[in-house]
Amino acid sequence: MSIDTREFRQALGCFATGITVVTARDGAGLPVGLTANSFNSVSLDPPLVLWSLSLYSNKLAVFQNCSHWTVNVLAADQQGLSQRFAQSESDRFAGLAYSDGLGGAPRLDGCCAYFECRNETHYAGGDHLIFLGEVERFERHDRPPLLYFGGRYRQLGEV
């Protein structure tokens, strides 16, 4: 079966997700991060989560080699952060409020939840690499989430 890429993307967009920024520290100690909605839960015991990274990302080597990464689950009022971490910028962290999670992987202030993960393993997945992490620490805040559906940002309760 031949797949029409545009149709395929539109069909995938029917699956509503939250939005995360996945962060780490590179070998020089600089913070890195990107917007990702491929995040998902995998296992409760042991606590495992996953997300996938494009093979074309210039951050591939950083995420393959770091000890830990943090999944920052964005809140409804953090659409600007999602845009910032999806665009090419020299320093995505400039002027941002954040603290260091395990392995120095940044925790951006104001998120709904944080999952600080040991970089357990990764698997080949076509044009992406699937990262599996063991959650070593997590935190939850009672804030509404930022949603993504049909290629657009959404809010809870929106029709």
Quick count: other Cβ atoms within 10 Å of Cβ 101?
Answer: 25
Shorter beta-carbon distance to ligand FMN: residue 2 or 87: 87
* Interface segment toward ligand FMN; rule CB under 6 A; list 5-13, 28-36, 112-120, 134-142: 28-36
Q: How far is CA 120 from CA 46, 57, 114, 149, in A?
A: 12, 20, 17, 29
Q: What is the CA radius of gyration of the chain?
A: 15
Between 118 and 157, how does the x/- string for binding to ligand FMN read (CB under 6 A)?
------------------------------x---------
- 37 lies in the site for ligand FMN, by CB under 6 A: yes
- 24 lies in the site for ligand FMN, by CB under 6 A: no
Contact (Cβ atoms closer than 8 angstroms) between residue 97 and residue 57: no
- 78 lies in the site for ligand FMN, by CB under 6 A: no
What CA–CA distance (Å, rounded) separates 76 from 69? Answer: 22
Contact (Cβ atoms closer than 8 angstroms) between residue 75 and residue 111: yes
Q: How far is the CB of 88 from ligand FMN (least distance, A)?
A: 6
Binding interface with ligand FMN (CB under 6 A): 19, 34-38, 51-54, 57-59, 85-86, 88, 148
